[in-house]
Every structure is written in C-alpha cells, then in structure tokens.
Amino acid sequence: MEEAHGSEFTQDGTVDLKGNPILRSKRGGWTACSFIVVYEVFERMAFFGISSNLVLYLTTKLHQGTVASANNVTNWVGASWLTPILGAYVADAHLGRYWTFLIASAIYLSGMCLLTVTVSIPALRAPPCHEANVAECKHVSSLQLAVFYTALYILAIGTGGTKPNISTIGADQFNNFEPKEKAQKISFFNWWAFSVFFGTLVANTFLVYIQDNIGWSLGYGLPTCGLAISIVIFLAGTPFYRHRVPRGSPFTTMSRVLVASLRKWRLHVPNDPKQLYELDMVEYAQNGNPRINATPSLRFLNKAAIKTGSKDPWMLCSVTKVEETKQMLRMIPILIATIMPSTMAAQVHTLFVKQGTTLDRGIKSFQIPPASLTGVVTLSMLVVVVLYDCFIVKLLKKWTKNPRGITLLQRLGIGFIFHILVMVTASLTEMRRLRVAKDHGVVENGGSVPLSILILIPQHVFMGIADAFIAPAQIEFFYDQAPESMKSLGASYSTTSVGIGSFFSSFLLSTVSNFTKSHFHKGWILNNLNASHLDYYYTFLAVLNVLNLIFFIIVARCYVYRAEIFVNSVEVLKESKDSS
C-alpha cells in the first residue's frame, strides 16, 4: 500500500509553488498544458502583430530606406531572441520558471502598451510623407525615434523571460518517469508549434489588414489587449501546474567543470570510471535529477572528476556535472547549423514584404496587405504539422520503430533542404518580376510592376513547409537533449539560434549592399527594388544554405544522443523509499 501511495506522486522532482510534493492526478498533463497552449496563441498574435508588418511601419511612417528598415527589424528580432539566455539563467539559478515568466510578462506588456501609445499620440508620430524617395522626407525627431525604439526594446527584454520558460513550463507538465506521459510530451511539442503557428496566422492576416487599412493605433492596440488576455489565461491555470525548483546557475556548473579540467590537465583519466568522483545515486533520484554515467566523448573534461584530495568545487566536480556540461557543449555545433535557417526566416518579414509592395495587390476592389502573405507561411506550417503528427509519424513509426517517426536531427535536415528550395524559388520569381518591370518601363521610376502579388506564394509555401519541420524539432531537440537541471538553458539554445540568425541577416544584407555598390555599377539592394538585383542576393543565400546543409550532415553524423537514464533512477527511488 505504501508503494502504491507513493506512486501517486510525481517522481521527477516537480512540486507545487510552496515546494510540496504533488499528486500526478491533480496537476500537470494536458489539463495544465491547455492553459499554456492557449496563452501561446495570444502571445504569438501580440509578437507577430508587431514584427510581421514592422518593416512597412519603418518605411512608410519613419521614412527609412530598404536596407535600414530591414536591418532595424532583424536587429530588434535578434535582440528579442537573444535575451532569453538571461531569462533562462534567472529561471534556472534563482526565481524558477513560473516567477521569472510572470515578471517578464509584466515587462512585456508594459512595452506593448508604450508602443501602442507611441503610434497613437500625434506628438510622438512622424510627420506624413508621400514622396516616392523616402530620403526626401522630413527627418523623424530624436524624441520620436527614442520613444519608439525604447518601447520595442522593453518588449524585447520582456520576451527574454517568457520565451525560454513558457515552453519548458509546458514540457514540465509531463513526467519522464511515466511512459504514458513521456509519450505525450513528444506530441506536446508538435501541438505547441501548432499554437505558435495559429497565433502567428491571425497576426499575419487579421492584424496586418487592420494596420494597413484602418490604422496602426488599433493594429497595435489589439495585440496589446491579446497579450493581457494571455497573461490572465496563464494565471488561471496556476492551480494545475507542476513546478521545478531552481537548482543553481548552469553557467556556474559548466564553468567549474571547464576550470577544474584545465587545472588538472597534466593528470591522466583512469581507465575505470568508478575511480572518478561521484555522488550517491539516491541523492540524485530523490531530487528528480538522475545520475549520469561517464562517457568517453570529450574525454578531457573527465579530468574535472579525478580525485586529488581537494573538495574545492572549482577543483573537483562529480561525473554527473561533467556529463551535463558535455551535453550542453555537444549541442553547440547543431546550434551553429540552425543559425542559417533562422537567417532565412528573417527574409519573410523584411525583403519578402518589400517585394510585395512593388506588385499588383488588387483582387477586384480588395487590396492584399504585403505582410499578409506571411500568413501563407503560417498556414502551410499548420497543415504540415497536423499531417505530420496525426498521420506521417504513425506511418514512419511502423518502418523505423522510432516513437518520433524519424530522429529530431533527420527532421531538421528535411527542413534545411526545403530552405534551399525557398531561396531558389525566390530567386527565379524575382528574375521574372524584374523582367516584367523592364518590359513595362518601371525600372527607373520604381513604379508598380503589373504582376500579381500571388506569384510570391510558392516561396512562402516552401518556407512554411521548411519551418514545420524545423521549428518543432529545434525546440524539442534542445529541450530534450539538455540535462534535467539545465532545461531552460537548453530551450534558450533554440531562441539563441533565431537571435543570431536575425543579426546575421542584418550583417549579410549590409555587407552585400555595401560591397555591390562599391564594386558594381549599381548595388544589388537599393531603395528602388525595380533597379535592384534581389535575384542575385537570393541565389547567394541559396548557396549559403547548401554549404550549411553539408556542415549539418557532418555534425549530425557525429552527434551522440543523450542516453535514456530514467528507468534506473525510478528503481533507485523506489528502493530508497522502501528502505525508509
């Protein structure tokens, strides 16, 4: 009876907000995740309600050129996806995921409110301009720019605490010690991606239309209200959540392992791993943090666990701490490989939107907002994710015997191939657009090209298919492969990839623009896209994607997946309870 009673409680170290043990039947699972998934729908509406159409606001309202507006968007997006490193640190080391998330949400909401005020009050808005060349428009005042960018970057700070923690809070609702819940966690990441894509779709269609046709005040006010609603929804689910106790800074753990290894670099690692320093398995199991056996990979780091008589944590680390550090380091080459796809995703909200502004957007009396085509990306994602989770995985499992159908790295690789197709298609489409512009004499004056904006749909569809494979696999891979005590940091690897990719997009765009202006008669990327050569730029990006795919295949073949270690830990935990 004692054993049955004990099994009613979670065995992975999760507790309630007061630190008390919790019953599996009362907390967690899909009930808790329903609040989190609904939150994410509204939050994605808020974020993409700003980012999807931001390049047009910077161009039409703040009078910025093609390169400047695109880079300002990608720099802000990059900051929004890099700040999660800080949010992950605070959650893992100090406040825990729940409280870090709530504080960051308040910051996030304040940034959204300030941004809405900025576009609503006449004194904070730039004077209107109808010149074809934005360089001839009246300059925006320093105060107007300062308030606008302050609001944007307050928002970026807020996302730093929400992005790495909300997905990990969701994953924490499933217990890895229970086979049924562990299987549900695999499905959770696909449906998590579905909620992200659904919220993004609403932002890219409904909100973008309002911004273009009704006004920016309402267009920014609605996602601000949506974010406030999402926070209330998250709070409503508090009685159902499972929580993990902060276990110290993962950066400190990793630093200690690296320093201890370097300080003992002259010593030889013993052939018998049992001679290395390690804590008792029961101590790990009681905290829901299983012990990890020594592995031969990155063997130099094993020196940190060599016993020398010193108990200094900067001189002696347990085998488990060493292996946790190895797990985080082994993922870095994969992180590097995912930067290029993140760079490709940045084109959707910048150059793809700018392309749309040059084309015929009319369907009878209706004008298609250029940024709304990003909704095609999202719709493609939604369709592919549902088909993949409901049908393709089931078919592949029969063939591969893998519960995910294919490995996470194989799923990433398929997405990388589609990104090559995106850039090849975009380049061919741009060649056609430029040819029509030349035939109708609108190259020099930058006039509208008599070609339907719908010709951009194929490149958006391919982008959606690519992201349907990459986004869920990337989030799940970095979460799943991170050690139990570093899950938030692992989740931040995914956001770090997106952030660096956005900054890399800015770097590439500026470098190529400046280089081609200096070495060619005309640059590839000008304010007048009809006189530009975006087709050359897209071809260049396609080549970079091919090189990145080759790099990814090499590092993926060398990658060793994290060992499954929960079964032994459960047995040890049961034995320790029985003996007590």
Contact 385, 415 (CB under 8 A): no
Q: The domain at 1-248 falls in which architecture?
A: Up-down Bundle (1.20)
Residue 448 has which token pair? 């509208």
Domain boundaries, the chain: 1-248, 250-324, 328-579
Nearest Cα to Cα of residue 495 among 468, 481, 509, 474: 474
430 Cβ contact partners less than 8 Å away, ≥ 6 residues apart: 355, 534, 535, 538
Question: What is the pTM for the complete model shown?
Answer: 0.76
CA dihedral (395, 397, 400, 403) positive or negative: positive
What tokens were used for 456? 């951009």
In sequence order, the 6+-apart residues with CB closer than 8 A to the CB of 198 are: 41, 44, 378, 382
Q: Read off the tokens for 198.
A: 């659904």
Rounded CA-CA distance 73/502 in Å is: 9
Rounded Cα gap, residues 469 and 477, in angstroms: 12
Residue 442 has phi, psi (to 5 degrees) of -115, 25
**DSSP conformation letters of 104-171:** HHHHHHHHHHHHHHHHHSGGGSPPP---SSGGGSPPPPHHHHHHHHHHHHHHHHHHHHHHHHHHHHHH
Q: Which residues of 110-129 are buried (b: 16+ CB within 10 A; e: fewer)?
A: ebbbbbbbbbeeeebbbeee
Distance CA(538)–CA(531), nearest Å, equals 15
Q: Would the CATH topology of 1-248 be identical to that of 328-579?
A: yes
Assess contact for 289 and 482: CB atoms under 8 A. no
Instruction: Given CATH 3.40.630.30, say whether it is the number of domain 328-579.
Output: no
Distance between start and end Cα atoms, the chain: 14
pLDDT in tens, the chain (580 residues): 333 344 577 766 677 777 787 777 778 788 888 888 888 888 888 888 888 888 888 888 887 887 888 888 888 988 888 888 888 888 888 888 899 999 999 999 999 999 999 988 888 877 776 655 555 666 778 888 889 899 999 999 999 888 888 888 888 888 766 777 777 777 777 777 778 878 888 888 888 889 888 888 999 999 899 899 989 999 998 988 888 888 777 888 899 999 999 999 999 988 888 888 888 776 666 565 677 888 888 889 999 999 988 888 899 999 989 999 999 999 999 999 999 999 998 888 888 988 988 998 888 778 888 878 888 888 898 888 888 878 888 888 888 877 778 888 999 999 999 999 999 999 999 999 999 999 988 888 878 899 999 999 999 999 999 998 998 889 889 988 888 778 778 878 888 888 899 889 989 988 998 899 887 767 898 888 888 899 999 999 999 999 999 999 999 998 987 765 443 433 433 443 444 3
Q: Which one, of 335, 281, 73, 47, lies nearest residue 166 by Cα?
A: 47
